[in-house]
Amino acid sequence: MARRGLLLILSSPSGAGKSTLSKRLTAWDPSIRFSVSATTRAPRPGEVDGRDYYFRTRDEFIAAVEAGEMLEHAEVFGNFYGSPKAPVEKALEQGHDTLFDIDWQGGQQIRNSSLGRDVVSIFVLPPSIAELDRRLRSRAQDSEEVIATRMARSKDEISHWAEYDYVLVNRDLDLAEEQLKMILSAERLRRDRQPDLMDFVRGLNGEFETR
């Protein structure tokens, strides 16, 4: 039976594991469309425009927001990030799930949008703040100043955990991955995500009448 797609929002403070979990989930089910965000920040080594992000100037980004072309957007660490609306709407109609690796601000905007009924939101917590700090440092991508800024911001981000449908504590990455898969599998089976289910049941009832 046909199924309407869903919007899977995955959020966490930086370093808690949402990006790694996102990559594992799309490797497990390649049919999941990863939402490619637009951003005004400069590309990091190895990043490709259109694959990792749509890299835009501030003027280009602001123009897209004003034209209503962004499903959500926010300014984070001095740069704009946002999700183009058109590919998400198309994926929903075609029965494809779209995964969003975004912060609580973006998640809140999508939940409050016209597509809010299609959202399944999950917040990932670290097992401790000390472990969060260790993970940020082990990536060796950011300066001490940036790490300090991210750690300071994490308290505010964690305060929004109760706004989400599900909360995972990422003590063990493999376990968190399995829990994430279970959530997605269950949500796909919700009655309101199976538009052909009513016709299917009518068909079953029709079979009773012909017995």
50 is in an annotated binding site: no
159 is in an annotated binding site: no
15 is in an annotated binding site: yes
Task: Name the β-bridge partners of 80.
Answer: 75
Tokens of 88: 């998400």
Distance in angstroms (rounded) separating the CA atoms of residues 8 and 25? 11
143 is in an annotated binding site: no
Sorted by sequence, the CB contacts under 8 Å of residue 170 that are 6+ apart come out as 12, 16, 17, 21, 124, 125, 126, 127, 176
13 is in an annotated binding site: yes
155 is in an annotated binding site: no
87 is in an annotated binding site: no
Binding residues: 12-19
Binding residues for ATP: 12-19
